[in-house]
Amino acid sequence: MLEILIFGAVTSAIYAMLAVGFTLIFGVARILNLAHGSFYALGAYGAYVLTTIFKVPLLVAAPLVVVGVALFGMAVERVLIRPMRTSQLAVLMISLAVSLVVEQALFLIFGSEYRNVPSFIDQKYVIGGVDVAGQRLLTLLVAVVSIGGLYLFIQKTRLGSAILAISQDPEAAQYMGIPSDRIFGVVMAMSAGLAALAGIMAGPFLSVQPSMHLLPIVKAFAIVVVGGLGSIPGSIVAALMLGYAETLVAYGISTSWTEIVSVAATLLMLVLRPAGFFGKRAAF
Amino acid sequence: MAVLPIVFDSRYLMGVLTVAAIYGIWSVSWDFMSGLTGRENFGHSLFIGVGAYAAGFLNTNWGANAWWSLPAGMAAAVVFALIMGIPTLRLKGPYFALAMLSGAVIMQRLMLIFWEYTGGEEGINGIEPLIRSPLYFYWFVLGMLALTVTLLGGLARSRWGLILKAIRGDEATCQAAGLNVTYYKIASLVISAAFAGMGGALYAHYQLQVSPQLFAVVTSITIITMVYVGGMGSIYGAVGGALLLTLMTELLRNFGEWRLMVYSVALILILFFLPQGLVAPTWNKIRQRLSGGQS
Amino acid sequence: MFKAPFSKRSFSKLALALSAAVLLSPAQAQQGPIKIGLSTAVQLQVGRDTQEATKMAIDEINAKGGVMGRKLSYVVADETENPEVGINAIKKLTADEKVDVIVGGYTSGVTLAQLPHISAAKTIYLGVGAASPSITAKVKQDYENYKYIFRTGPINAVHQAKGLVEWISGHLIGELGLKKIAIIGENAKWVQDLVPVLRKGAVDVGADVKMVEFFDTTTSDFSPLLSKIKSSDAQFLVVVLSHASSDVFAKQWYDSRFPIPYGGIDVKSQDGDFFDRVGGKSLSEVAVNFAVRTPLTVKTVPFFDEFKKRTGRVPVYTAFGAYDSVHAYAQAVERAKSFDTNAIIKELEKTSLPGVAGLLEYDETHDVKAGGKYMNLLFAQWQAKGERVVLWPKSLRSGSMIMPPWLTK
Identify whether A114 is part of a domain.
Answer: yes
Buried b / exposed e along C237-272 (16+ C-beta atoms within 10 A): bbbbbbbbbbbbbbbbbbbbbbebbbbbbbbbbbbb
Residue A119: give the domain boundaries: 2-210
Which chain B residues are within 8 Å of A229, Cβ to Cβ? none
**Residue range A60-110, pLDDT digits in tens:** 888 999 999 999 999 988 888 777 777 777 787 788 888 888 988 898 888
The answer to whether the CB atoms of A260 and B97 lie below 8 A apart is no
Q: Coil, strand or helix: which one is A245?
A: helix
DSSP letter assigned to residue B91? S
Identify whether B228 is part of a domain.
Answer: no
Total of domains in chain A:
1
From the list A29, A63, A17, the residue with the least C-alpha distance to A166 is: A29
**Residue range C246-282, pLDDT digits in tens:** 888 998 899 888 999 999 999 888 888 888 888 889 9
Predicted local distance difference test score (pLDDT) of residue B22: 93
Identify whether B260 is part of a domain.
Answer: no
Identify whether A158 is part of a domain.
Answer: yes
Predicted local distance difference test score (pLDDT) of residue C27: 45
Of the ranges A48-52, A123-127, C215-219, the best mean pLDDT one: A48-52
From the list A94, C223, A268, A276, the residue with the least C-alpha distance to B106 is: A268
CB neighbour list of residue B288: distance below 8 Å, 6 or more residues apart: none
Identify whether A63 is part of a domain.
Answer: yes
Predicted local distance difference test score (pLDDT) of residue C21: 57
Identify whether B288 is part of a domain.
Answer: no
Identify whether A241 is part of a domain.
Answer: no
What chain C holds in terms of domains, given with CATH numbers, is: 34-155+296-360 (3.40.50.2300), 158-289+377-407 (3.40.50.2300)
User: Chain C residues with CB-CB distance to B under 8 A?
Assistant: 1-4, 6-8, 10-12, 14-16, 18-23, 25, 77-78, 82-84, 87, 91-92, 95-96, 107-110, 112-113, 115-117, 187-189, 216-218
Closest partner CB to B92 (pick from A84, A260, A284): A284
Of the ranges A87-96, A215-224, A261-270, C202-211, the best mean pLDDT one: C202-211
The answer to whether the CB atoms of B10 and C95 lie below 8 A apart is yes
Residue B40: give the domain boundaries: 4-216
Mean of the pLDDT values across residues C6-24? 52
Q: Which residue has the higher pLDDT, B192 or B275?
A: B192
Q: Is B86 on the interface with A (CB under 8 A)?
A: no
Identify whether A261 is part of a domain.
Answer: no
User: Any idea which of B131-145, C56-70, C330-344 has the lowest mean pLDDT?
Assistant: B131-145
Identify whether A23 is part of a domain.
Answer: yes
Rounded to whole angstroms, how far apart are CA atoms C371 and C363? 13
Sheet-wide strand order for C180-186: C208-215, C180-186, C236-241, C262-266, C286-289, C378-383, C387-392
pLDDT band of residue C58 (cuts 50, 70, 90) is: very high
Which chain A residues are within 8 Å of C43, Cβ to Cβ? 107, 111-113
Identify whether B243 is part of a domain.
Answer: no
pLDDT at C23 over 80: no
Give the bridge partners for C185, in sequence order: C214, C240
User: Any idea which of A270-284, B10-24, C199-213 has the lowest mean pLDDT?
Assistant: A270-284
Q: In this predicted complex, what is the ipTM?
A: 0.75
Closest partner CB to A88 (pick from B93, B113, B218): B93
pLDDT at B142 over 60: yes
Interface test with C, best of A207, A208, A212, A260 (most C CBs within 10 A): A207
pLDDT at C4 over 60: no
Identify whether A230 is part of a domain.
Answer: no
Which chain C residues are within 8 Å of A201, Cβ to Cβ? none
Alpha helices in C205-244 (DSSP H): 223-230
Identify whether A187 is part of a domain.
Answer: yes
Which chain C residues are within 8 Å of B12, Cβ to Cβ? 23, 91-92, 95-96
Neighbours of C384 (CB within 10 A): 12
Total of domains in chain B:
1
From the list C271, C307, C289, the residue with the least C-alpha distance to C51 is: C307
H or E element at residue C209: strand C208-215
What predicted TM-score, i.e. pTM, was given to this entire model?
0.81
For B149, nearest residue in chain C (alpha carbons): C4
Closest partner CB to B257 (pick from C25, C78, C91): C78
